[in-house]
């Protein structure tokens, strides 16, 4: 029980990246255990995939609408989940240096959604490749959205890679996307279309967003609206600033003149108006 309690505590105290990683690992373990527990080997142990993986046909999406998101928490094998979660950890932590945890979750979920849509479209409106999988699983579309989003926001940010040196972030994401484009000729074209769908969302949103307050559904709408200036940017009128500076300068001159008069003739020589002016300035 202490191990379970420790895992619960770590999950509760972890940031959004760690929570997504824990959820993915938990779902992966369940996908391995449930077929054993319920004796589903007669169905090739694909009970979880059958209900939560995304299938290419529209009728399946209508009967399992949740699969457009849940597929992003499923993985085919150990190497698949290992690579994705390592990428999510490093890319996600860089993302959190400039955005919030809520925004990262939005990118992950909406990127997964966009990837699923492009996967379905690719199967229904593009030529199918022989042996191509008809189901989609994996967090890659969500990760692509996060990676492309942060690279669009800080394209010239440099990472130091051993044996290579410093590489700009946009170079890395270009390679990431380029590999997916090349892989479209392979037997998992639909999966790579999904990656590109997530990347497309990441680019479009950051390129069009007017501020950092990313909301799950507002994000979809904002990409098709005209880009506006950030709401948090404030501009001051040059004329007001000049007027303020002028008034301050005149006030200081009056104070200096009065103090000079006091040093020469004494306080009693001041007029009533000068005394009142000096008193008001002293209270500020």
Cα torsion 73, 75, 80, 85 to 10°: value is: 20
In total, the chain counts a number of residues equal to 284
State the DSSP string of 129-154: PTT--SEE--SHHHHHHHHHHHHHHS
DSSP 8-state code for residue 161: E
CA angle 241, 242, 246 (to 5 degrees): 120
Is the four-CA dihedral 91, 172, 178, 201 of positive or negative sign?
A: positive
Residue 281 vs residues 32, 74, 268, 278: alpha-carbon distances, Å: 78, 70, 18, 5
Looking at the domain that runs over 2-222, which CATH code has it been given? 1.20.1540.10
Q: If you search the block for the tokens 């008069």, which residue do you land on?
A: 261
Residue position matching structure tokens 């690992």: 25
**Residue (of 260, 136, 246, 153) closest to 191 by Cα position:** 136
Structure tokens at 46: 């694909």
How far apart, in whole angstroms, are the C-alpha atoms of residue 104 and residue 161? 24
Q: How confident is the model at residue 264, as a pLDDT?
A: 64
Q: Residues 47, 38: contact at Cβ < 8 Å?
A: yes
* Per-residue pLDDT, 231: 32
Which residue ranges does the chain devote to CATH 1.20.1540.10?
A: 2-222
pLDDT of the residue at 3: 78
Please answer whether residues 145 and 111 qualify as being in contact, where contact means their C-beta atoms are separated by less than 8 angstroms. Answer: yes
Say how far apart CA 222 and CA 204 lie, in whole Å. Answer: 9
- Do 278 and 255 meet the contact criterion of CB atoms below 8 Å apart? yes
Per-residue pLDDT of the chain in tens (284 residues, 90 and over written 9):
577 788 788 888 889 999 999 999 999 998 888 777 766 555 555 777 888 999 988 888 899 999 999 999 999 899 999 999 999 999 999 999 999 999 999 999 999 999 999 999 988 877 555 445 678 999 999 999 999 999 999 999 998 888 888 999 999 999 999 999 998 888 888 899 999 999 999 999 988 764 444 444 454 545 445 444 443 333 444 454 445 555 666 677 777 777 777 666 666 677 777 777 766 766 55
Question: Distances from the Cα of 99 to the Cαs of 95, 129, 140, 200, in angstroms?
Answer: 6, 39, 20, 19
Name, in order, each residue with C-beta under 8 angstroms of 63's C-beta and a sequence gap of 6 or more: none
CB 136 within 8 A of CB 54: yes
Residue 134 pLDDT: 78
Q: Which of 131, 137, 145, 115 is nearest to 209 (CA)?
A: 145
Here the contacts of 215-220 (C-beta below 8 Å, separation 24 or greater) are 215/106, 216/106, 216/109, 216/110, 219/106, 219/110, 220/110
């Amino acid at each position: 029980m202490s191990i379970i309690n420790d895992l619960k505590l770590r999950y509760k105290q972890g940031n959004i990246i760690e929570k997504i990683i824990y959820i993915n690992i938990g779902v992966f373990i369940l996908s391995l255990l449930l077929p054993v527990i319920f004796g589903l080997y007669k169905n090739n142990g694909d009970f979880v995939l059958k209900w939560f993986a995304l299938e290419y046909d529209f009728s399946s999406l209508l009967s399992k609408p949740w699969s457009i998101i849940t597929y992003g928490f499923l993985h085919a094998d150990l190497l698949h989940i290992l690579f994705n979660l390592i990428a999510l950890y490093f890319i996600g932590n860089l993302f959190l240096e400039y955005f919030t945890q809520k925004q990262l979750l939005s990118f992950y979920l909406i990127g997964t959604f966009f990837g699923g849509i492009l996967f379905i479209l690719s199967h229904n409106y593009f030529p199918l490749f022989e042996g191509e999988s008809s189901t989609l699983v994996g967090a890659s579309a969500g990760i692509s959205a996060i990676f492309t989003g942060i690279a669009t926001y800080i394209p010239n940010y440099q990472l130091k890679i051993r044996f290579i040196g410093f590489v700009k972030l946009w170079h890395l994401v270009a390679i990431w996307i380029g590999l997916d484009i090349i892989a479209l000729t392979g037997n998992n074209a639909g999966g790579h279309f999904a990656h590109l769908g997530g990347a497309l969302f990441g680019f479009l949103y950051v390129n069009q967003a007017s501020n950092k307050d990313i909301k799950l559904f507002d994000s979809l709408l904002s990409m098709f609206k005209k880009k506006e200036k950030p709401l948090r940017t404030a501009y001051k009128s040059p004329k007001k600033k000049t007027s303020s500076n002028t008034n301050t300068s005149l006030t200081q001159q009056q104070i200096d003149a009065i103090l000079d008069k006091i040093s020469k003739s004494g306080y009693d020589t001041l007029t009533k108006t000068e005394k009142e002016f000096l008193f008001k300035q002293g209270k500020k």
